[in-house]
């Protein structure tokens, strides 16, 4: 779509450009970055069209990250609370969750644009904690974008960074506790095993 309007002289954007200027950001922010000279309505119209194209493509092309359903089963088997927190528009988020078969998995869905401030501010994660009646001291986050990691950290939670698209250095600099390549990563399962042992020890001693 950017090529169609002659953005950057019609030269396709790079992965680096995407990571720095688009990934994880709210559409209002993206519009301001890409089209600083456009009026608001024109920018919002482009973003709406972009999201409509995304939904058409997503319905055919979205696939789960490796290990996603294994992780979801681990979480559900232990009766843990779970929420989805995203800067994506609600129709996109609901579509993605449905395609992945997770509509019954998430207890709450928080949309950044429906909060006072979207990611990288902590507001969406704080709202999720409130809705779930959960403490930030007993919650952790999975994130794949710089803005998302910053939001989780600002809300007081450890964040596991997923390196599915964005540079590892950027994710660590944003404050990720550690990085995984997908949900099958041995580092993740080692950490979950340790967490479970610590939790069991706490139950025994209290």
> Which CATH number do you get for residue 199?
3.40.50.1000
Asked if 121 and 175 sit in the same domain, the reply is yes
Which of 61, 78, 100 terminates a domain? The answer is 61
Question: Tens of pLDDT along 60-80?
Answer: 888 999 999 999 999 999 999
Q: How far apart are CA 194 and CA 196, in angstroms?
A: 5
Asked if residue 93 belongs to a domain, the reply is yes
Which of 16, 46, 61 terminates a domain? The answer is 61
Q: Name beta bridge partners: 86.
A: 111
Q: Would you give the end-to-end CA distance of the chain in angstroms?
A: 58
Asked if 50 and 130 sit in the same domain, the reply is no
Which of 18, 46, 61 terminates a domain? The answer is 61
Count the neighbouring beta carbons within 10 Å of the beta carbon of residue 33: 11
Asked if 73 and 148 sit in the same domain, the reply is yes
| Domain count within the chain | 2
Please report the pLDDT score of residue 202 as a whole number. Answer: 58
Q: Which domain holds residue 45?
A: 7-61
Q: If you average pLDDT over residues 185-203, what whole number do you get?
A: 87
pTM (global) more than 0.85: no
Asked if 81 and 179 sit in the same domain, the reply is yes
Asked if 80 and 148 sit in the same domain, the reply is yes
Asked if residue 2 belongs to a domain, the reply is no
* Helix H or strand E segment including 86: strand 83-86
- Among 14-28, 104-118, 140-154, the minimum mean pLDDT is found in 14-28
Asked if 120 and 83 sit in the same domain, the reply is yes
């Amino acid at each position: 779509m950017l090529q169609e309007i002659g953005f950057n002289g019609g030269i396709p954007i790079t992965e680096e450009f995407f990571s720095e200027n688009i990934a994880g950001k709210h559409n209002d922010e993206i519009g301001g970055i890409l089209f600083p000279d456009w009026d608001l309505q024109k920018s919002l119209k482009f973003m709406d069209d972009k999201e409509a194209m995304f939904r058409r493509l997503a319905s055919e092309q979205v696939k789960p990250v490796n290990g996603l359903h294994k992780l979801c089963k681990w979480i559900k088997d232990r009766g843990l609370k779970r929420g989805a927190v995203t800067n994506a528009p609600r129709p996109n988020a609901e579509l993605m969750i449905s395609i992945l078969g997770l509509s019954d998995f998430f207890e709450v869905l928080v949309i950044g644009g429906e909060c006072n401030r979207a990611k990288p501010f902590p507001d969406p994660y704080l709202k999720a904690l409130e809705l779930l009646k959960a403490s930030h001291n007993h919650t952790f986050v999975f994130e794949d974008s710089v803005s998302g990691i910053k939001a989780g950290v600002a809300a007081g939670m450890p964040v596991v960074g997923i390196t599915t698209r964005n540079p590892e250095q950027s994710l660590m600099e944003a404050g990720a506790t550690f990085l995984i390549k997908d949900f099958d990563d041995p580092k993740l399962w080692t950490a979950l095993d340790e967490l479970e042992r610590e939790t069991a020890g706490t139950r025994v001693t209290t």
